[in-house]
Structure 1
Amino acid sequence: MQTFALLSKTALQAWPKAELHCHLDGSLRLETLLDLARQQGKTALLPADSLEGLAEILQQVDTSASLEAYLQWFRYTVPLMQTREALRRIAYELAEDAARENVCYLEVRYAPVLHTEEGLTLEQVNEAVLDGLRAAERDFGLRIGLILCGLRHLPETFSLRTAELAVAYRKRGVVAFDLAGGEAGHPPKHHLHAFYYARNHLLNLTVHAGESWGPDSIHQALFYCGAHRIGHGVTLYQDPDLLQYVLDHQIPLEICPTSNVQTKAVADYATHPLRYYVEHSLAVTINTDNRLFSRTTMTEELWRAHTACGLSVQQLREVVLNGFRHAFLHWDEKQDLLRNVEASLKQLTADPTQPSLTH
């Protein structure tokens, strides 16, 4: 039972935010999904031909039986993301949506190999995404980093090629290399060469781990792949020794509450280990994962962490600051950003005129 006063969603909207775990192909606007399908003559690929119909069907994401079932929803977005124009538009709109809710630092991730089905090269795909993100940076004033993902279920040669692409763009907007996709039966250690290449070329590393597979997945991500951050990490609590290691080294967890419930990584918000992790001083961040499929925003995720997972205002503030503390930014840049964010949060949480409490 909560005993603290609740922040209003309006107050949370005003907080400066950093998002570290957001998938490009899971974060289209619903209107854009339908518009692109019509433009490209691919409406037959969608489960409905109206916004109302699509919105209703997307409610079924909540009944996904597993992570693997949840990932099947991407069959509606990826086929529409095979042109430079579509990729640029989707990247730009995602950043615009983030900026509207005061996300001032955003890391977007995607797997370039998924967008080469109609003839684009990996480089053309990446240039299109970066072009959209750069334009959004100029227009909306937020800062953006791009993360390239290898895919667990594909041969390691694809991951290595993606790591090479990430390294080639390391000083042109790409900030990290990641491994994504269904965990079961696809251990991170099968992609060692890709991670070695990225690490050996000074690239940041994050790995999806501990979402639909247990703490061994996190263990491999850390000690085989050298991950600097862990995507999700929901099952970490099942291995107290590993949890202690993650705590001792302050390895950040990229928690996505709504997605974690949808993929059945947790049964519900009340049993999510988020509060346990925060109370035990782990470096937790909150993220959307997939804005379209989870029908969410950063404000919504923070609101659910506060109201459904039980984080206090002070705990929520620290989680928000963690998003900036563990961003894949150079140290000096990060400290400058943190100082500004801390000052802003101090003012917002101290000003009695702010619409901060709900009664």
Structure 2
Amino acid sequence: MATSTPHPGDFPPVTEELLRALPKTDLHCHLDGSLRLETILDLAEKQKVRLPADTPEGLARAIHMGQNTGSLEKYLEAFDVTLSVLQTEESLYRAAYELAIDAARENVRYLEVRYAPVLHTRLGLKPTTIVDAVLEGLRVAKRETHVKSNVIICGIRHIDPATSLRLAELAVAYKNRGVVGYDLAGAEEGYPSKDHQAAFQLILSNNVNVTIHAGEAFGPESIAQAVHYCGAHRIGHGVRLRENGDLLNYINDHRVPLEMCPSSNVQTGSVADMKSHPLKFYFDFGLRVTINTDNRLITDTTLTKELGIAHREMGFTLEDLCTLIVSGFKSAFLPYREKADLLKAVNQEIAAVLAKHGAPPKLVESLPRNAREA
């Protein structure tokens, strides 16, 4: 229970070093958008795949790395490049392993990696082989770094709903074996999530978690469909939720977390710039919001960078950032008791990190919004 209200002067200055040291989650992170540039070039050479450039600098330009593209559809063109080298068991293992290693380097304690197995079958890989390769890469990284990670299987909006159902069956088969959720990704406009209801019915009937990309490039009705037709437990992006106050209050009342990815949202043109991003408004209103990378490579970002942007450009205080971080752990697709234990450890670690950087050691104990309940 809170005993006092922290004074702004109690908090140390927000630095990159401090943000990197804080424990973090990344709940919205695409495997095929988070490779290393050097890995793409190396895999292409080994697989005899022709790329649009043969240097890291040229490849970065070709996939508009960190550049504003103006639309989600334009942004998604970069995945043609990354997917061209992710068609073998070895490349999938390596991509997953390196992603977890990169996340661990900035103290991400829990990572949910999402991808669509159907996009990795060009050379005949079986869906089960694809899932096993990614899970093994994440397992090896966990043994080396202790970063905990799980997988979210994605359906694709513009692909036949029958394929979504097959992918849902795959997610159900791997429940309790490393897969913790099911998602629907891809271009929103013209491809409503309700067309894929059969897949979500199977998922929900088997008590699997649901997150859906919605309200990114299309209006709040996309979010309404995700929640009311498809049973979404979390929403990917949701930047356009603010256009419907009644739905916004529903999402808030039911504590449906939003997986927000600020830099990606600007890059895709979902929001005009950081100053107009709704993250701080949602946070102040009381919604459960989390901060994520989306695509570490294509957006040229990390969790540390996203938290820094939230501080510098959106006005988040260090206290706010700690609350935002804790919301990520609260929103994880983990069993309640495991989540509760993790939250306890995370709050203790946040206190230790703040103390190391000059704050009173028990400061986090007095933060009223950092509730311990999962």
TM range (shorter): over 0.9
Contact 1:61-1:73 at 8 Å conserved across structures: no
Tell me what 2:70 maps to: 65
Give the direction of change, closer, same or farther, for the CA distance of 1:59–1:155 in structure 2 (3 Å limit): closer
Tell me what 2:256 maps to: 251
Tell me what 2:15 maps to: 8
Contact 2:65-2:299 at 8 Å conserved across structures: no
Letter of the aligned partner of 1:128 in structure 2? Answer: A
Tell me what 1:142 maps to: 147
CA separation in 2, counterparts of 1:58 and 1:74? 8
Give the structure-1-normalised TM-score.
Answer: 0.95
Tell me what 2:289 maps to: 284
Q: What pairs with 1:71-90 in structure 2 (closer than 5 Å)?
A: 71-90=76-95
Contact 1:105-1:144 at 8 Å conserved across structures: yes
Give the secondary structure class of the aligned counterpart of 2:151.
strand
Give the secondary structure class of the aligned counterpart of 1:343.
helix
Overall identity of the aligned pairs, in %: 53
CA separation in 1, counterparts of 2:292 and 2:115? 15
Give the structure-2-normalised TM-score.
Answer: 0.91
Runs of 4+ in 1 over 6 A off after TM superposition: none
Tell me what 1:229 maps to: 234
- In the alignment, is residue 211 of structure 1 matched against residue 249 of structure 2? no
Tell me what 1:309 maps to: 314
Tell me what 1:123 maps to: 128
- In the alignment, is residue 240 of structure 1 matched against residue 252 of structure 2? no
CA separation in 2, counterparts of 1:143 and 1:5? 28
What is the CA-CA distance between 1:65 and the residue it aligns to?
2.1
CA separation in 2, counterparts of 1:160 and 1:6? 49
Letter of the aligned partner of 1:257 in structure 2? Answer: P
Contact 1:231-1:253 at 8 Å conserved across structures: yes
Q: What pairs with 1:189-208 in structure 2 (closer than 5 Å)?
A: 189-208=194-213
CA separation in 2, counterparts of 1:60 and 1:86? 21
Match of 2:32 among 25, 45, 53: 25
Tell me what 2:181 maps to: 176
- Runs of 5+ unmatched residues, structure 1: 355-359
CA separation in 1, counterparts of 2:138 and 2:280? 33
RMSD: 1.4
CA separation in 2, counterparts of 1:19 and 1:203? 19
CA separation in 2, counterparts of 1:294 and 1:333? 31
CA separation in 1, counterparts of 2:342 and 2:236? 23
Deviation larger for 194-203 or 339-348: 339-348
What is the CA-CA distance between 1:60 and the residue it aligns to?
5.9
Deviation string for 1:160-196 (max 9, x for gaps)?
A: 0000000000011000000000001001100000000
CA separation in 2, counterparts of 1:283 and 1:256? 14
CA separation in 1, counterparts of 2:248 and 2:13? 29
Q: What pairs with 1:93-104 in structure 2 (closer than 5 Å)?
A: 93-104=98-109
Tell me what 1:357 maps to: none
What is the CA-CA distance between 1:350 and the residue it aligns to?
3.7
Tell me what 2:299 maps to: 294
